[in-house]
Amino acid sequence: MKIQKDMPASRRAVLNAKGKILSAVIRASTRLPDEKLVTVVRRLAGTNQFPMGQKFLEKALISLKRGLGRASPRCRNKLIENLVINEMVRGQAQRNWITEQLGYEIPLLLVLSPTMRCPLRCYGCYSAEYARHSDLDYSVLDRILTEAKSLGDYFMVISGGEPFIYEGIYDLWAKHDDIYFQVYTSGVKLDDANVARLAELGNVMPCISVEGFEEETDRRRGRGHFKMLLDVFARLRNAGIPFGFSATATRENNELITTDEFVRFYAEQGALVGWYFQYMPIGRDPILDMIPTPAQRLSRYHRLQALRESHDILLADFWNDGPLVGGCIAGGRRYLHINNAGDVEPCVFCQLSTDNIHDKTLLDVLQTSRLLAAIRKRQPYADNYLRPCMMIDNPHVLQDVVDEARPKETCRGGALRLVHDLKPMLLDYASQWQSLVEPLWQERYAELYRKPLADAHALSESHAREHPPVEPRALREPAIRRRPIPGLDRRA
């Protein structure tokens, strides 16, 4: 299908006018009462199709207001122009325009991992089984970002590996200074010089990984790591650079990272946002005892609901906040991941692929990928957005997707274990989780989400008609076109 990327002039004129008004409102937001700000932005930008998503966005708007008050002038301007105007206004309109032509949603963000190299060796790391001997070439990254902007994506997440050791990363951020970048990092490279470079750029928000307090963080990341992070927080705070934290919930720290003490501590350090992940059983030798129990996960859900009400910091849990975004956002529906080999994955934790960005444009991937199509036609996986994940909440869906698309593993073994020897464990986990959250869904969400679910099913049924199952082809291993790293063993 030929896609017309340029919107009609009449649409662009309306967008430009709306963008100018919204920019002026956001710049004046520190002088507006919270309720007034929310009301004005709602009138300009409309409301979210998901009821809890609207509530979250209003909380995000208030957090943005506070962040603007603490940010340097350069960072403040980039938050407004790149994140709010380019991504949320102009970008959303462009994505809507292309979605109308395709008949299905396209990503509102990409996660890019230009390198999987990292100076740390944290046990249980989700990316530990990727090959580390080569990086994604700068020219390919540049092309991906250019193509993404043509589709309306102006918010990019950089992950890895440790992104700050990728040669040319600062040049990339400078060249694409109309994009807002969020970077997941260990913080080890955020010394005075690099923080100064970030302050000059203004369009990069580091999100720093923590495990709890000193004992928990040092246990997983190495002695002295926590104290080093305190220095990093101070540098970022003093430079007026917005930043956040990310925390992976395990069986060990699940309760700790959902305490008021934990959230208050990192908010006082200056964190604007906090992202919660769940430890996933991926890789050749996943540590199954690290997976939070279903009861722990439910406890985390309730605690995050309470923490959002009592703390100013913006908090989100990628496994428990399905009601905010309509379930799973992977598979190209709202986001996808491109790793250091150029393999296009549905999600950073679903390390499978049928496509490589060296062989296709980003739009080609969205239109032709067997794997992404097999996922999208099955979304939502359940009529309960508290069960959003096809890997641990609906493992039968993952099995069906693998059987249809026949993807290859993108790491050094382990991804397909989820549909083989780990499948009985996952089915048991999913059954326990369903028994815990089904009553909660019926009580709090079922009626609110009747229409969004009906719309989602209609979209997936339409997609399924246009993308019927195909006879699996023999998979071709793409030629390696990654950039070799001098001095590293290519067998690593």
pLDDT tens, position by position, 175-205:
999 999 999 999 999 999 999 999 999 999 9
Better pLDDT: 414 or 80:
80
Place of tokens 């390919």: 140
Average of per-residue pLDDT across 5-22: 91
Of the candidate ranges 67-81, 239-253, 351-365, 465-479, the one whose mean pLDDT is the lowest: 465-479
Which residues neighbour 382 within 8 Å (Cβ) at sequence distance 6 or greater? 327, 393, 394
Using a 10 angstrom Cβ sphere, with 0-12 exposed, 13-18 middle and 19 or more buried, the burial of residue 442 is exposed
pLDDT bucket at 480, cuts 50 / 70 / 90: very low
Which residues neighbour 163 within 8 Å (Cβ) at sequence distance 6 or greater? 113, 114, 115, 169, 183, 184, 185
The reported pLDDT for the residue numbered 125 is: 64
pLDDT tens, position by position, 26-72:
999 989 999 999 999 998 888 899 999 999 999 999 999 999 999 99
Average of per-residue pLDDT across 371-384: 96
Residue 381 has which token pair? 């996986």
Average of per-residue pLDDT across 138-160: 97
Of the candidate ranges 35-49, 206-220, 225-239, 462-476, the one whose mean pLDDT is the lowest: 462-476
The reported pLDDT for the residue numbered 479 is: 39
Which DSSP letter does residue 407 get?
P
Place of tokens 């598979």: 331
Residue 240 has which token pair? 């007026």
Which residues neighbour 485 within 8 Å (Cβ) at sequence distance 6 or greater? 117, 133, 134, 135
Of the candidate ranges 30-39, 294-303, 355-364, the one whose mean pLDDT is the lowest: 30-39
Average of per-residue pLDDT across 267-284: 92
Average of per-residue pLDDT across 249-254: 96
Strand partners, 209: 246
Q: Does 492 score more than 50 pLDDT?
A: no
Query: In the chain, what percentage of residues exceed pLDDT 90?
Result: 81
Average of per-residue pLDDT across 213-223: 90
Q: Does 484 score more than 70 pLDDT?
A: no
The reported pLDDT for the residue numbered 127 is: 56
The reported pLDDT for the residue numbered 488 is: 42
Count of Cβ atoms closer than 10 Å to residue 40 Cβ: 17
The reported pLDDT for the residue numbered 486 is: 43
Count of alpha carbons within 13 angstroms of residue 45, beta-carbon side: 29
Average of per-residue pLDDT across 14-33: 92
The reported pLDDT for the residue numbered 122 is: 64
The reported pLDDT for the residue numbered 123 is: 60
Q: Does 478 score more than 70 pLDDT?
A: no
| Helix (H) or strand (E) run with residue 273 in it | strand 273-278
The reported pLDDT for the residue numbered 470 is: 54
Length of the chain as a residue count: 492
The reported pLDDT for the residue numbered 131 is: 59
Residue 114 has which token pair? 């230009």
Q: What is the mean pLDDT of the chain?
A: 91
Model pTM score? 0.92
Which of 195-209, 219-233, 447-461 has the highest mean predicted lDDT (pLDDT)? 195-209
Task: Give strand ranges (E) for 300-368.
Answer: 314-317, 335-338, 344-345, 352-353
Count of Cβ atoms closer than 10 Å to residue 424 Cβ: 10
pLDDT tens, position by position, 106-131:
999 999 999 988 777 766 665 555 55
